Each structure stands twice: as structure tokens, then as C-alpha cells.
């Protein structure tokens, strides 16, 4: 059975298949609406963390494809608390045709997949945010024409979003540069794995503490919040360390003239990104947010309807 747990699990051909399917489904939706390829199918959505984009984009993706999404709040499930994760998975996968889980610990979504009779999708974990990364590279391809050969510069914490984006860029032959303060860089094991992918694809992975060097001649500038959900106690300390990595007009001026600016949202305007940039001509923030829905349609179609690419 196929799951969608981490970008690091994919092969380049699989990444391309997801991107091609997202492109086709988005074009179909804009032209005449999507065909109901998931009619009578239900996605169970398990949330440990609240969300705007993840919940609504998956809900609408299932609706557009003719299916139904069932929201399960943290209080309703109590994943690993009211009952074991294994038992939750065994029960839920007898009711629904697919499971999407937005969790704190990556091990929880892996365990859900281990015991599930249906495909499991990682809607976010502390290690990876693969749905976001798929939407991100889909957006890059839409606005830059291709992923291969693009220089994608990420500014800030080496978090789950940065990690998934790094793997996607490495698989797709892009040059990924991550600028982080000392002590907040991506972990060595993930970087080593991504560099193995990049060596085969023609891409590259670079870490730096110099945000100006990362921005110079970049095709894409990407940032995220400095303190993620669950790191609230670190907010003040990070706010004192991260300001040099803010994506502002000065940083954008170092990139290519037609560079795009990205943020996975929600944004803390005035912190990791300025209003001037978020609402400026380089910004593709809201195209990127919309593409969560289309990228996730591709995931749902491929995992829950294996015939989708043959139609």
C-alpha cells in the first residue's frame, strides 16, 4: 500500500508524477470542474494541531473530486492518549478510505500507517511537511517554468518545512540554500541524505549563516515562522536571534529581478517577512496557498484512485 509520509521517501519519478497530476487536476478544475473520481470515498482527517490551510484545502480537494472529508478534532481522538495509536488506526481505517493526520511527532503518523488498511497522508509532523513541499515545488514550476536548475533560498529555522522543501529540491535537481542562525540549521543526517539525492539529480544543497549570500542571485526566496507551533516557549529567544534573516526589500534586491517570494503561512508580518514584501510584486504567497488544494488533490487521486493517471 502506498502512503504519503515524507518527501524523503519519494523517488524523482514519483515526485514528477505528483506534480504532473496536480497540474492536470488544476487545469481541469479551472476549465470545467474536476470529475468525481473519488465519489463515495471518505477521507478521515485526524488533527492534533489546529489548521486553516490543511483542513480547508483537504476538505475542498475531496469535495472537488466527488468525495467527503470527515474532521476529527484533538478532543475526539486523543491520539495515543485515550487509546493507542495502533488501535485508532485499526478502527478508523475500517470506516474510511484514506487517513490524513496532522500531528506533533512524526512517529505518530508512521505508526498510523503501520497499522492502517488504507493510505495515510502526513498533513504535518515535527519532521516533515510533505504536502506543503509538494505545493511549494508545484508553485515554483508554475511561476519559474521548471524546478531543475532553480536556486531556492530558505531563510530561518531548519524546521520541518525547510526539510521537506530541501528534499523536494534535491529530488528535482534544484539548488537549495538554507540560511539559518548558528544552532538552528537543518540536521546533518537530513542534509547528507538530501545531498545524495542532489548528486543524482544535478542539484545541490548548501547551508550558510549568511542570509545575504543565500539571497544573491536566487530564483526563489522562502521563509517561515521563527517559532513553530509547540515552540511557544522559545518565541522570545528566537525573536532576538532571527531578525537578520527577515525577508525584506533589501534581501529581495539581492535576488534575481524576477525572483519569487514564498511563505507557507501563517505569516508573522513584521517578523520573518515584511508587509512590503508579502504584498509586493515578487510575492506568490496566495498562489502558493491555493496550490495546497491542487497538490493535495494529486495525492488523494493517486493514493485513493489508482486509475487516475490512465483516464
Residues annotated as catalytic are 102, 129, 132, 224, 264, 292
Looking up cell 539559518 gives: 180
Extended beta strands in the chain, E state: 42-47, 68-72, 98-102, 120-124, 151-155, 175-179, 204-208, 220-223, 260-263
Q: Supply angle C-alpha 39, 40, 42, rounded to 5.
A: 105
Cα separation, 251 vs 240, in Å, equals 19
Do residues 212 and 251 lie in contact, with contact meaning Cβ atoms separated by under 8 Å?
yes
3-state secondary structure of 216: coil
Composition of the chain by helix, strand, coil, percent to 5: 50, 15, 35
Cα separation, 241 vs 226, in Å, equals 9
Exposure string of 147-178, with b = 16+ CB inside 10 Å and e = fewer, is: beebbbbbbbbbbbbbbbbbbbbbbbbbbbbb
Cα separation, 11 vs 295, in Å, equals 17
Cα separation, 237 vs 105, in Å, equals 23
User: Is the preceding peptide bond at 266 cis, omega within 30 degrees of 0?
Assistant: yes
Strands 42-47 and 98-102: parallel
Looking up cell 478544475 gives: 29
Amino acid at each position: 500500500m502506498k502512503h504519503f509520509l515524507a518527501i524523503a521517501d519519494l523517488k524523482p519519478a514519483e515526485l514528477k508524477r505528483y506534480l504532473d497530476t496536480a497540474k492536470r487536476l488544476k487545469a481541469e478544475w479551472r476549465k470545467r470542474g474536476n470529475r468525481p473520481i473519488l465519489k463515495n470515498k471518505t477521507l478521515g482527517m485526524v488533527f492534533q494541531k489546529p489548521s486553516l490551510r490543511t483542513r480547508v484545502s483537504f476538505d475542498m480537494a475531496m469535495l472537488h473530486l466527488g468525495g467527503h472529508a470527515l474532521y476529527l478534532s484533538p478532543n475526539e481522538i486523543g491520539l495515543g492518549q485515550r487509546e493507542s495509536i495502533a488501535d485508532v488506526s485499526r478502527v478508523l481505517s475500517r470506516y474510511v478510505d484514506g487517513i490524513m493526520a496532522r500531528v506533533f511527532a512524526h512517529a505518530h503518523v508512521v505508526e498510523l500507517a503501520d497499522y492502517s488498511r488504507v493510505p495515510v497522508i502526513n498533513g504535518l509532523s515535527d519532521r516533515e511537511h510533505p504536502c506543503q513541499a509538494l505545493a511549494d515545488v508545484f508553485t515554483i514550476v508554475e511561476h519559474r517554468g521548471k524546478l531543475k536548475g532553480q536556486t531556492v533560498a530558505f531563510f530561518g529555522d531548519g524546521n520541518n518545512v525547510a526539510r521537506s522543501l530541501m528534499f523536494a529540491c534535491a529530488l528535482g535537481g534544484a539548488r537549495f540554500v538554507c540560511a539559518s542562525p548558528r544552532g538552528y540549521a537543518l540536521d546533518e543526517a537530513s542534509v547528507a541524505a538530501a545531498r545524495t539525492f542532489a548528486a543524482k539529480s544535478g542539484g545541490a544543497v548548501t547551508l550558510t549563516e549568511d542570509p545575504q549570500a543565500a539571497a544573491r542571485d536566487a530564483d526563489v526566496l522562502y521563509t517561515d515562522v521563527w517559532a513553530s507551533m509547540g515552540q511557544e516557549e522559545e518565541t522570545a529567544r528566537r525573536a532576538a536571534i532571527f531578525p537578520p534573516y527577515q525577508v525584506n526589500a533589501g534581501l529581495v534586491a539581492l535576488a534575481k529581478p524576477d525572483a519569487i517570494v514564498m511563505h507557507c503561512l501563517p505569516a508573522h508580518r513584521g517578523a520573518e517577512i515584511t508587509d512590503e514584501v508579502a504584498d509586493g510584486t515578487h510575492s506568490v504567497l496566495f498562489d502558493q496557498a491555493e496550490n495546497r488544494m491542487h497538490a493535495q488533490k494529486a495525492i488523494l487521486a493517486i493514493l485513493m484512485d489508482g486509475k487516475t493517471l490512465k483516464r
